[in-house]
Amino acid sequence: MFKYFEPNKIFSITSKAPKYVLFLFIVIFSIGLTEALILSPEDYKQGHSVRIMYVHVPAAWISLGIFSVITFLSTIGYIFKIRNFFLIAKSLAPSGLVFNIIALVTGSIWGKPTWGTWWAWDARITSMLILALFYIMYLIAWRIFEDNDKVFKVTSIITILGIINVPIIKYSVDWWNTLHQPASINILSKSTIHLSMLFPLLTMTAAFALFSLLIFLMKYNTELIKIKNKGLDRL
């Protein structure tokens, strides 16, 4: 069905939606920051450093999530030749990279007072760095290859390669001895994070997701304008 979709209709949504998303983001982000920095308690062991976690963990989740979505869109887009999926994937990638870097930097800032080191080459941290490299590779590929068919193929292959790293990131803390602690939030077993800390964490995740959506809409809008300027009314 996407083969026959009209960019004009989508364009009317993507040009109006950002302001509403921005408003929602500001509201949720303010609530999240107030909870994370003021209302939530300090940790029994880490003290106030625990507050870094409210940025670190949501940022890591979002970057992993975006990469998975990009891979899904690229492979489906490649198999069924849906150009629009590639444009959506391309527009999503920058916010994924930004959150990936935020996760690495905040983790480093947290690591110094708690672990006693800025950086460790353990499996979790290294695999997260590799994800950042895949994001960079993906974004550079879009700039290098001008030809549509070529860029679709190359970016699809980059995402397929990169997606193998995603479960490695997730389970690295369970499979091997790592300095990084295992997951606190579990779907199947009991979570080991207190409810008063879980709430700001989830609010911040929602805020970051809205921010990604906002950047995505703006990027995607630009892509649609580019197509319009080329005088094509179909993708």
Partner 1 sequence: MYGRKVKLRFFFVLLIFATLALSIFLLIKSLEENVIFFKSPTEIKTLNEISKKKIRIGGMVKKDSITIISKEIKFIVTDFKNEINVIYSGVVPNLFTEEKGVVAEGYLKDKNFFLATKILAKHDENYMPPEVKAALEEK
Go through the chain and tell me how many residues it has: 235
**Are the C-beta atoms of residues 61 and 100 closer than 8 Å to each other?**
no
Site for partner 1 in 12-31 (CB under 8 A): none
Cα of first residue to Cα of last residue in the chain, in angstroms, is 12
Which of 10, 31, 157, 225 is in the footprint of partner 1 by CB under 8 A?
157
Which of 1, 38, 41, 147 is in the footprint of partner 1 by CB under 8 A?
41
Rounded to the nearest whole angstrom, what is the least distance from the CB of residue 78 to partner 1 in the complex? 6
What is the rounded CA–CA span in Å between residue 111 and residue 162? 26
CB within 8 A of 206, min separation 6: which ones? 28, 32
What is the rounded CA–CA span in Å between residue 80 and residue 111? 44
161 binds partner 1 (CB under 8 A): yes
Three-class SS of residue 43? strand
Rounded to the nearest whole angstrom, what is the least distance from the CB of residue 94 to partner 1 in the complex? 25
189 binds partner 1 (CB under 8 A): no
Which of 6, 12, 20, 42 is in the footprint of partner 1 by CB under 8 A?
42
| CB nearer partner 1, residue 201 or residue 215 | 201
Phi, then psi, of 181 in degrees rounded to 5: -75, 155
108 binds partner 1 (CB under 8 A): no
What is the rounded CA–CA span in Å between residue 87 and residue 3? 13
75 binds partner 1 (CB under 8 A): yes
How large is the angle between the packed helices 123-144 and 53-80, nearest 10 degrees?
Answer: 50
Which of 21, 28, 36, 53 is in the footprint of partner 1 by CB under 8 A?
53
What is the rounded CA–CA span in Å between residue 209 and residue 32? 12
Cβ-based burial of 15 (10 A; exposed 0-12, middle 13-18, buried ≥19) = middle
Which of 4, 9, 177, 231 is in the footprint of partner 1 by CB under 8 A?
177
Rounded to the nearest whole angstrom, what is the least distance from the CB of residue 198 to partner 1 in the complex? 9
Phi, then psi, of 42 in degrees rounded to 5: -80, 160
Per-residue x/- track, 202-221, partner 1 (CB under 8 A): --------------------
Site for partner 1 in 116-145 (CB under 8 A): 116-117, 120-123
| CB nearer partner 1, residue 89 or residue 215 | 89
Residues in contact with partner 1 by the rule CB under 8 A: 41-46, 50, 53, 75, 78-81, 113-117, 120-123, 156-157, 160-161, 163-164, 168, 176-179, 181-184, 192-194, 196-197
